[in-house]
Structure 1
């Protein structure tokens, strides 16, 4: 039974915490500040009920500061480096500035809802993206759920999930897209050639015709490119497994993505561990062959200075001039550049939309779901994915349809300009 004692005008209640001290005596916890003895005793009875049923939260644990708990929670996670870095950034920049000095037990549902409303207002004002706000709220929900179920720092989570349509309806805003047009890809590729030479030309065609993610295309290395893969693969098992399959069907291997991990450049597994092989239409394979013959970089798409693309100001120095155009540059010979026209259909848009275009092309051509989703680096969920299998015929059909698009573009659009093939470097002496 809990014990109530008065101290001046207020009383406190003590109850057994379900543990024993080193000397064998029972360990008690207490709460002060009551003015009504019956309410104090009732509070103590509730705590003892929780102890008996494994629902108790230690007073000392519940008083832990959010800034301490959040970092302890983060260090306990076992996730991909990219996810760990993303969580660290959101905790540091968005969660702790608001909640850091609060105790874990003091965060209330009402306060959480006010904070959520404030974040969404920042998204409406354009200060934060809606996707980023959703990620922040999802992360905070996981942190508080674990405070309840795993670490027993509080009795319930303050995060109330929104189910149904209570409150004012707000339609989900989606990014405005244009249907895929070969003329738009061509215009971007022409501008990329002015910005970045033949590397830019090939890069801009590779994006919509492979659907690779930005980190994957930055991390594409020579040994995994179609001119030499799979025979150049350093893994003997993959060489033997794919040599016959891709003997007459050029393909590249998505083995890595290049990104920062804890502030350092690292080659890590693709997003969702989506290692995959991508067959290329002949025109793109020839472009890759010519490109790799013109440089000796280990990267298929080296930067303007010859190093990796990761670490460059890609949006500012590459994509924005390609997309929005730029005035002519004079001055030093190595910096001169002709005027770059803007591409109205892509003005202000993300380069990632060219990955969306690839999905659009595959869907228009009517390929099997397993072939489309595997190529995009996705899994087909449930029984459909369990029974489906990507066959050689499916891959061959994708390569043929993509090649048909290229040939139809050359025949119908009759582009007025195509870049000269770059000079091949002499083979290195061994």
Structure 2
């Protein structure tokens, strides 16, 4: 039975809650109630004890909570991935992170036993393999996301992939500092555009590089630019083509739904109109749409080689092409079961390894364009390929700036080579270049964000607006630096093997 306990100037009620354990009558906030009389305290204690007894009896009658099933990380990660319903590009990235970097380390570990120490050790191991800190951070972010869902489902009590800021790391930010992004000038954009056209042997690349440098469009937005969205003084960004591991170019909205209309200066509008006239009227086979730019065909009929391709092996084994590549190049980095499945697919399909050939396609491939056109144009050198080391682009000296020598014995016919324009510059670096040019012009932040497809959620941005005068000023600035670059190029040589540029140069004489 409950009883009253004298506390000097008041009474409190005490009641039994278990063998040798007593509770105190309290209010809703947990504060002890002070009674003026012994009888009041006894009555309240009796009521509280009766309530406690009923609560315990009801709890005893409830069925026991089921014990959470223990799953390996491999089992849980597979089930987790199947539940996601995200953009194809995001699903591809998650799959690559899981298959190539998480499963080799954690596949057989029980989900509820993975520790922070094991995750930190894995991260150090990845750094030791030469991966970039930014990449490892992304993979750990995916691991954190998976384990956070495991916590919500009751498979874990906490998330060991959560990083406590400033703990277990050297001080400062220099440890994860990446190299500075390389940018170039308006003249650099023009010279690289000319060189890419000479390397490809057509005008498409000349217009595309200038479009990227003077609008800041993302690569997928340029590849996916349909002819109907080229306007007299602007381009409309409605879609992009995102390249999946399967080789498919997935048509999807621009990144972060950054739909926008990007103004183009008169010279660029004229170039795009000319490109639209050169583009094929035939819709591409993959999407049934007419695009402004098309891919470049393979040399020497390489695209017509028979047999299974790497993408066929990936589909047969149910993995990404990156995983197949790892099995071929770094088998120790792939989980044994996955490696066995890929090797079986290679055997059954009769896959024979070939170096990439840039197969015929209706669209550019990111790696092919960057490796065999853009990089040689920016640096003057072809990258290492197989047993062949990096080497200068072989050129015939006349007409200036030189014509790439092609075919068997090209190196023996070399008369010149290109000097570098911007070592380390990538196609994405032209997006940085465009933003930097607008910074130099003093373009208002609101207009810069609009062109880049960014969004500023600050109060200041909410009260800023883009005006027609701002747009005219930016177009004047872009036209001015274009004219200046064209004048400098004309001083180097009054003509060009690229017919579009040659017309522009001679028109100003």
User: Is the TM-score greater than 0.5?
Assistant: yes
CA–CA distance in 2 between the matches of 1:130 and 1:166?
15
Structure 1 residues 127-166: aligned runs within 5 Å: 128-148=131-151, 150-164=152-166
CA–CA distance in 2 between the matches of 1:291 and 1:340?
30
Match of 1:265 in 2: 249
Larger radius of gyration: 2
Match of 2:113 in 1: 106
Residue 396 of structure 1: CA displacement? 2.4
Q: Is the 8 A contact 2:183 2:432 kept in 1?
A: no
CA–CA distance in 1 between the matches of 2:184 and 2:369?
23
Higher relative contact order (CA 8 A, sep 6+): 2
Residue 82, structure 1, aligned to residue 97, structure 2: no
Report the count of equivalent residues. Answer: 343
State the SS of the aligned residue for 2:231. coil
Query: Quick one: which of 207, 212, 219 aligns to 2:212?
Result: 207
Query: Quick one: which of 100, 104, 113 aligns to 1:97?
Result: 104
Q: Is the 8 A contact 1:180 1:360 kept in 2?
A: no
Match of 1:308 in 2: 363
CA–CA distance in 1 between the matches of 2:212 and 2:477?
16
Structure 1 residues 187-206: aligned runs within 5 Å: 187-196=191-200, 197-206=202-211
Match of 1:356 in 2: 432
Match of 1:8 in 2: none
* Structure 2: runs of 5 or more not aligned: 1-16, 18-55, 282-289, 298-360, 381-392, 395-403, 502-509
Q: Is the 8 A contact 1:283 1:403 kept in 2?
A: yes
CA–CA distance in 2 between the matches of 1:86 and 1:184?
33
With the length of structure 1 as denominator, give the TM-score of the two structures.
0.72
Residue 318, structure 1, aligned to residue 373, structure 2: yes
State the SS of the aligned residue for 2:64. strand
Q: Is the 8 A contact 1:225 1:252 kept in 2?
A: yes
Residue 367 of structure 1: CA displacement? 1.1
Structure 1 residues 400-411: aligned runs within 5 Å: 400-411=476-487
State the SS of the aligned residue for 1:344. coil
Match of 2:456 in 1: 380
Residue 174 of structure 1: CA displacement? 3.0
Residue 259 of structure 1: CA displacement? 1.7
Residue 401 of structure 1: CA displacement? 1.2
State the SS of the aligned residue for 2:236. strand
CA–CA distance in 2 between the matches of 1:322 and 1:215?
20
Residue 331 of structure 1: CA displacement? 4.4
With the length of structure 2 as denominator, give the TM-score of the two structures.
0.62
Residue 300 of structure 1: CA displacement? 1.3
Match of 1:219 in 2: 224
Over the aligned positions, Cα root-mean-square deviation in angstroms equals 2.9
Distance 1:268 1:201, change over 3 A: same
CA–CA distance in 2 between the matches of 1:304 and 1:317?
11
Residue 299, structure 1, aligned to residue 291, structure 2: yes
Residue 19 of structure 1: CA displacement? 10
Match of 2:236 in 1: 253
Q: Which is further off, 311-320 or 215-224?
A: 311-320
CA–CA distance in 2 between the matches of 1:368 and 1:207?
20
Match of 2:73 in 1: 66
State the SS of the aligned residue for 2:262. strand
CA–CA distance in 1 between the matches of 2:364 and 2:59?
58
Match of 2:21 in 1: none
Q: Is the 8 A contact 1:187 1:343 kept in 2?
A: no
Q: Is the 8 A contact 1:74 1:88 kept in 2?
A: yes
Q: Is the 8 A contact 1:222 1:300 kept in 2?
A: yes
CA–CA distance in 2 between the matches of 1:86 and 1:132?
12
Q: Is the 8 A contact 1:226 1:288 kept in 2?
A: no
Query: Quick one: which of 405, 411, 427 aligns to 1:329?
Result: 405
